[in-house]
Amino acid sequence: MDNHLKNDRAAWIQGPSAHCSVIPSKLARAWRLVLLGAPGVGKGTQAERLCAHLGACHLSTGDVFRAAAANRAAAATPAMQAALECMREGKLVGDSTVWELVRERGGCLRCNGGFVLDGFPRTLRQAEALQLLMKEQGVALDAVLDYELPTDEIMSRLGGRRVCPACKAVFHLVERPPQISGVCDLCGGRLIQREDDRPEAIAVRLEAYESATQPLIEFYRKLGLLAPISAEGTPDKVFARTLKALHVTA
Ligand code: AMP
């Protein structure tokens, strides 16, 4: 199933006035998934793989904020400026700002290709609002994948992460070092540490995850949607567990 054309996610990243490069035709099975798990468990990597495998779109709210940070016009509103300040410090952006952004992208939730939500919802209010909106739109979640990893492993994954701002490749100082220190293997770009991967911000993000996002595990368990998955080991191993949890063939 890896032969789906990759959608550029324009309607998600830039907002509903933008048009995606590929509008999926109705798939026999449009998957609608939410990924949960602390920052650093590898949700982004699993989301990318799932989307390639299932033909769905990777909907990350963090990507929307990062794209806005790189775009002067989008970052100009007071709400977005406040949101970007929260992001730099590792704090959660306020529910109303996040919800405004997701609500206006509601078309992506109805899209024929399905979706993998990564980084949203992160609070009970967001999860409740999402349930309501999806119900109004006549669509439903298939599953919520909860990636589990011990805290010391999370700290080491986040602290060692280096990313290429040019091509978005992700490296790790110990587990996946670039061939030349500080230089992207794929495009030669200069690797950076995300502002929110600095130690002060990591501590704030983990605290936010524990207090705000962990209650979602119970919320989705009660809805019968929760699938816990160990995030230990290589991305390949985690992906194999993910497909197994969804009863999808590799
Ligand atoms: P992520 O890439 O998902 O780790 O998101 C990066 C940052 O964007 C987070 O640390 C928050 O500051 C902000 N953010 C992204 N999604 C949400 C959300 N659903 N609720 C609140 N803040 C969010």
Q: How far apart are CA 235 and CA 64, in angstroms?
A: 24
Ligand 1 pocket, residue 34 CB under 6 Å:
no
- pLDDT per residue, tens digit, the chain (250 aa), is 344 556 788 888 888 888 888 777 666 789 999 999 999 899 988 999 999 999 899 999 999 998 888 887 777 788 889 999 998 888 999 999 999 999 999 999 998 889 999 999 999 999 999 999 999 999 999 999 999 999 889 998 999 999 998 888 889 998 899 999 999 999 999 999 998 899 889 989 999 999 999 999 999 999 999 999 999 999 999 999 999 999 999 8
**Ligand 1 lined by 66 (C-beta under 6 Å):** no
Could you tell me the end-to-end alpha-carbon distance of the chain, in angstroms, rounded to an integer?
Answer: 9
Helix (H) or strand (E) holding 227: strand 226-230
All residues at 6 or more sequence positions from 169 whose CB lies less than 8 Å from its CB, including other chains = 163, 184, 185, 186, 187
Q: Is 126 in the pocket of ligand 1 (CB under 6 A)?
A: yes
CATH topology (fold) of 30-246: Rossmann fold (3.40.50)
Indicate if the alpha-carbon torsion angle 1, 9, 241, 248 is positive or negative.
Answer: negative
Quote the longest CA-to-CA distance of the chain: 51
* pTM score of the predicted model: 0.89
pLDDT digits (tens, 9 = 90+) for 137-195: 999 999 999 999 998 899 989 999 999 988 888 899 988 999 999 999 999 999 999 98
Instruction: Please list the alpha-helical segments (H only) found in the chain.
Output: 10-13, 43-54, 61-69, 78-89, 95-103, 106-110, 124-136, 151-159, 199-208, 215-222, 235-246
Domain ranges of the chain: 30-246
Active-site annotation, residues: 43, 122, 161, 194, 205
